[in-house]
Amino acid sequence: MSHPAAGRDAAEQHFADSILKLRASAPQSSFSGGGFPGAIRADSALTGDRCLELFDAQLASRHLDLAARWLREQRAGFYTIGSSGHEGNAAVAAALRGDDPALLHYRSGAFYLARAAAASPPRDGVRDILLGLVAAEAEPIAGGRHKVIGHVDLHIIPQTSTIASHLPRAVGLAFALGRAARLGTASRWPADAVVVASIGDASINHSTAAGALNTAGYCAYQRLPLPLVIVCEDNGLGISVRTPPGWVAAAARARPGITYFHADGSDLADVYDTALAAAAWARYRRSPAFLHLSMVRLGGHAGSDAEAGYRDPAELTADMAADPLVGTARLLVEAGILTPAEVLDRYERGRARVLEMAAELAGAPRLTTAAQVMAPLAPRQPDAVWAGAILAASEDKRRAAFGGKLPELVGPLTLAQSINATLTDALAARPEMLVFGEDVARKGGVYGVTRGLLARFGAGRVFDTLLDEQAILGLALGSGLAGLLPVPEIQYLAYLHNAADQIRGEAATLSFFSQGQFRNPLVVRIAGYGYQEGFGGHFHNDDSVTALRDIPGLIIASPARPDDAAAMLRTCLAAAAADGSVCVFLEPIALYHARDLYRSTDGGWRAPYGPPDQWAAGHVPVGRARTHGTGTDLTIMTFGNGLRLSMRAAARLAMEGVSCRVLDLRWLAPLPAEDILREARATGRVLIADETRRTGGVSEGVLAVLADDRFGGWVRRVTSEDSFVPLGDAADAVLLSQRQIEDAGRALMG
């Protein structure tokens, strides 16, 4: 291992040269016994003391970037995206309160260090960041799973690498803080907190950022409280692509409802004063502020980036002249707080400290087993989930919520009615629960599933959102973080896909990257699947669950029958509340209003709604299937619409002397492996009836369960085609049919 102090790069040399050129003024007049309480500059609220503290954070952040590169050379570090040039964000940290939740850009080293140093008791942020660089198990937030900027005590929520993906959540959190307080929900953050979220200049062009800014403005426009500061750290580049000069200001100023602030990122006093103004705007007006900081990027995008290939030398030199470290040194020297020699001495001492610690931590223990890595992915406490699933409001409250007509007394319910009753019961029992989405409130949902909830629980808990799935999920992620229990609705499965990263990259990773210290309790209801008799074509008959099935830790519930739906929804809500689980609740549209199973008027697809004293007996644990029938010749494995088709097919086959049992998987993740294997062995013949596509569909997962366990019996599968679902009768040509199930059953018996 080479000595860490070896080698200084051009920026370091430039820094030293610039400092030596500074002209020291007389010592500051307000100097008092080792402190500098006076303003660092006549027009600024930044004191000399604060400036010195922040300067130390800035210096340490710079040295951490150098240490990251050194660690990489030693093959001991795994991350070199640095904060050099962005160290002015230390003053943003100083302008906010230590308990204002922060969701930060990856160049926020100095912000982190400044907040850590100001915490009580202070934290050694340098150590935290170094542990992140070497992927050490002891790193306090991600525990060696990623180099993220975050700490639960510092109220910094770790972000993924997907630029801008944290903004919808930030908007959601700002939206939820006041709401949580009004609903009396315990939250980590006080009701007067301000959410701060930072991004780069290229990132503001991302549709996720554009959507989040739009949502923030949309809320502010309606005077909904949204205490949010969005910081755009504008270095003029997105890796190698230039942001047109003036674009960030033009784009941000044009946003209705969002107030624009600008500061020179290399001038710490300017950043501090402007950030104070932006934070005050957000805190007291409860309205979003956009804080635009002009910055430079020093040292390339990351350690591996040879920026000389796309930037000319004059540009690189100009950036060095705007080095924020030189800017702060100038403030301190001109205020008479430090001499140039003292600045350089401070720099060198900081460098030695960081590099020594880097050498010490280079070999820190890392995660070694899959079990260690995966531990925070999906914590499951079945007993707590059971207890939560039987939680009911008092009899009086229930009566009031149901307008006197308790659902257990009104006779059998359809799937839609059953979900509606379950949501009503849950809203009555869980004051922290919210229901929202497009058309869910006034209209009561496209299919009436949320009908009446607004009238029963009010607009504080049941509300219509703007038409943006990404924003809906962002509101949910922020609400969950704030202590609420969000139950957003995505109107159709096909419309999840443009926003799926909010589930995949954000919701599902939060526990992983924070070792469960931050959680995302969430139950997303999604109406989906096909069989709407040709109505609506692909976008209303989408059956692509594959994009969800591979998300680690995600729970996917797929109820088909009204009684299962009620119990499974209660399980999902309890899992979200108890374990912070991220749950997707897939509702088959075609079965919402189905009443019959075999013959018209047989009522076979409706079911009575169990009163609370029956919920314990009817509890459905996550990942447990349900078997219909006791046939001994053939096991049909299915889910969703496939259950109804398969039960009908089974009745036909029974008339031909083939006795079937039908296994409703009920959960697509985790798949009910134990039940699949048991029911496969019960007959020795398995027919998988899968309404999703043949390629990548659910049947592949079921086959894998059987193959992994060396199931030796007969297996066959029937699925929908690898096609989008067309309009009209042509839909039947590509969707799995009852006839196909029957034929396959006969073939298996043959």
Ligand X SMILES: Cc1ncc(C[n+]2csc(CCOP(=O)(O)OP(=O)(O)O)c2C)c(N)n1
Positions marked catalytic? 540
Element (H, E) at 102: strand 102-103
Cβ–Cβ under 8 Å, residues 324 and 265: yes
- Write the burial class of residue 624 (CB in 10 Å: 0-12 exposed, 13-18 middle, 19+ buried): middle
DSSP 610: P
Establish if 235 lies at the interface with ligand X (CB under 6 A): yes
Closest CB to ligand X among residues 297, 351: 297
Contact between 162 and ligand X per CB under 6 A: yes
Q: Per CB under 6 A, which region of 198-206, 320-328, 361-369, 472-480 contacts ligand X? A: 198-206
Type of residue found at 611: P
Q: Identify which range of 159-167, 251-259, 464-472, 683-691 contacts ligand X by CB under 6 A.
A: 159-167
By the rule CB under 6 A, 515 interacts with ligand X: no
Maximum alpha-carbon separation in the chain: 103
- The answer to the question of residue 456 lying near ligand X (CB under 6 A) is no
Residues in the chain, how many?
750
CB of residue 368 vs ligand X: minimum separation in angstroms?
28
When the beta carbons of 248 and 682 are compared against ligand X, the nearer one is 248
Q: Does 304 contact ligand X by CB under 6 A?
A: no
The tokens describing 345, both together, are 């001495």
Q: How far is CA 21 from CA 304, 328, 641, in A?
A: 32, 14, 76
200 lies in the binding site for ligand X (CB under 6 A): yes
User: Which of 301, 366, 451, 497 is close enough to bind ligand X by CB under 6 A?
Assistant: 301
Nearest to 587 by CA among 620, 556, 553: 556
Tokens read off for 452: 């009446």
Q: Give the shortest CB-89-to-ligand X separation in angstroms.
A: 11
Q: How is 450-483 classified by DSSP, letter by letter?
A: TTTHHHHH-TTTEEE--S-HHHHHHHHHHHHHTT
Q: How many CA atoms lie within 13 A of 67 on its CB side?
A: 28
- Strands, sheet with 462-464, edge to edge from the N-terminal-most edge strand: 462-464, 433-437, 485-490, 522-528, 582-588, 555-557, 667-669
| 13 touches ligand X by CB under 6 A | no
Q: Which is nearer to ligand X, 198 or 720 (CB)?
A: 198
Q: To the nearest whole angstrom, how small is the minimum distance from the Cβ of residue 354 to ligand X?
A: 21
Least CB distance to ligand X at residue 506 (A): 12
Binding mask 70-109 for ligand X (x = CB under 6 A): -------------------------------------x--
Residue from the set 98, 238, 412, 696 that interacts with ligand X by CB under 6 A: 238
Distance of closest approach, residue 628 Cβ to ligand X, in angstroms: 44
Choose, by CB under 6 A, the member of 201, 267, 273, 691 that binds ligand X: 201
Q: How far is the CB of 521 from ligand X (least distance, A)?
A: 25
Q: Which residue is nearest to ligand X (CB)?
A: 200
DSSP 376-420: TT----HHHHHHHHT----HHHHHHHTTT--GGGS--B-HHHHHH
Q: What are the C-alpha distances in Å from 615 to residues 215, 319, 471, 567, 620? A: 39, 66, 34, 7, 9
> For ligand X, which is the closer residue by CB, 224 or 302?
302
Residue 237, interface with ligand X (CB under 6 A)? yes
| Min CB(156)–ligand X separation in Å | 17
Stretch that binds ligand X, among 231-239, 257-265, 304-312, 690-698 (CB under 6 A): 231-239
Among 131, 141, 196, 202, binds ligand X (CB under 6 A): 202
- Using CB under 6 A, list all residues that contact ligand X: 107, 161-163, 199-203, 233, 235, 237-239, 297, 301
